[in-house]
A = this chain, B = another copy of it.
Amino acid sequence: MKMLITEMNNIDLDRYLTEKKELVNLALHNLQPVSGPEAVRAAMNYSLEAGGKRLRPILALAVAETLGYGEEDVINVACALELVHTYSLIHDDLPAMDDSDLRRGKPTCHRVYGDAIAVLAGDALLTLAFEVVAGYGMKPGRAEKAVRIGAELGRAAGVTGMIGGQVLDLEAEGRELTLPEIETISVMKTGALLKASVICGAIAADAGEKELVLLSRYATNIGTAFQIVDDLLDVESSTEDLGKPAGADQERFKPTFPAVLGPEGARSKAEALYHEAIETLDDLGRPVELLTGLAHKLVYRIK
């Protein structure tokens, strides 16, 4: 059994998260288009700068750092992941889908800009993500890595990943699901992009095959743990804490891990996945404090 990370590490980690979040926010700001119609750019900017933990880009940065690569080698790839994440939030919130009014503590994109612009702003963020990966690949020696990263990102976002997960999630409303079904939805809807964040960071940092396998296993485990904790927070928190309507999953009869396993069972599953994730890192032969700390943060976060 791993020791829990120390108080000191926690302070360092919080500083790391704050610094990287600022770095990502600045980079995302600079990647936004400076021409094109104002309405859609405003909507993109609104959703992109509405806050958020920047977990996916920070995972990519942390993996690259673990493998000895600096921010400049991976920051744009990291941002592409957040662009895909933000597009998916905008489209998932649409009246035709989850019909959500609140996201990250603010009115959702379509509530502010209307449905048409929200659809287009989502489309534009998804498109921009791949444009950013192409831009990353224009620098010498990066083309092959960019192609692999584009393929990973496409797979994570596509019908066997996020889009497929959203379809299953919509189909599941009001229906009782088994644990394997809930796991499948979680892996596709949330896990796929978290895994891609780890893998894309690793590709940008020239990871070897063995490293990719280990990091991929780490990513799969923390992805599911993250989703379980998300479900738990939906049950246990207030709307103010969450920045989106609390209890929304229950209200819409969405299948969740706590609904099937109970809150205690869900919590201990998340902890077991956390331990599996950090044990996987043992074989990496790299300094793993950062990835261990991030895994801990995901599972023991308050909101």
Residues of A that sit less than 8 Å from B by CB = 33, 35-37, 39-41, 44, 87, 91, 94, 96-97, 114-117, 119-120, 122-124, 126-128, 130-131, 133-135, 137-138, 143-144, 146-148, 150-151, 153-155, 157-160, 163-164, 166-168, 170-171
User: What's the nearest-Cβ distance from chain B to residue A89, in Å?
Assistant: 13
12 A-B pairs with C-beta separation under 8 A:
A36-B164, A37-B164, A37-B168, A91-B119, A96-B115, A96-B116, A123-B163, A124-B159, A127-B157, A128-B158, A130-B154, A134-B154
A150 to chain B, nearest CB (A): 4
Whether the pair A116, B170 counts as a contact (CB closer than 8 A) is: yes
- B166 and A154 contacting across the interface, CB-CB below 8 Å: no
**Extra 15 A-B pairs, beta carbons < 8 Å, given A37-B171, A116-B170:** A36-B160, A36-B167, A37-B159, A37-B168, A39-B167, A40-B159, A40-B164, A97-B116, A120-B167, A127-B157, A128-B158, A131-B155, A134-B154, A137-B150, A138-B148
Interface SS majority for chain A? helix
Identify which of B33, B87, B91, B150 contacts A158 (C-beta below 8 A): B33
What residues of B have a CB within 8 angstroms of the CB of A148 in the complex? 134, 138
Could you say which of B39, B123, B143, B160 contacts A144, with CB atoms under 8 Å apart? Answer: B143
Q: Bound state CA distance, A155 and B97, in angstroms?
A: 28
B159 touches A33 (CB 8 A): yes
Contacts of A166 in B (CB 8 A): 120
Contact A151 B163 (CB under 8 A): no
**6 shortest interchain CB distances as A-B pairs:** A131-B154, A36-B159, A96-B115, A137-B147, A134-B150, A134-B151
Question: Residue on B with the closest CB to A166?
Answer: B120
Contact B157 A133 (CB under 8 A): no
Q: How far is the CA of A40 from the CA of B163 in the complex (A)?
A: 8
Residue of B at shortest CB range from A99?
B116
Residue pair B131, A167 in contact (C-beta under 8 Å): no
> In the complex the two chains form, what is the Cα distance from A97 to B122 in whole Å?
14
Give A144 to B158 CA distance when docked, in angstroms.
Answer: 24
* Given known contacts A37-B159, A39-B167, A39-B171, A130 and B116 CB-to-CB distance under 8 angstroms: no
- Given that A33-B159, A124-B158, A164-B40 are known contacts, is A119 also in contact with B147, CB under 8 Å in the complex? no
A298 to chain B, nearest CB (A): 26
Among candidates B143, B155, B164, residue contacting A146 with C-beta atoms closer than 8 Å? B143
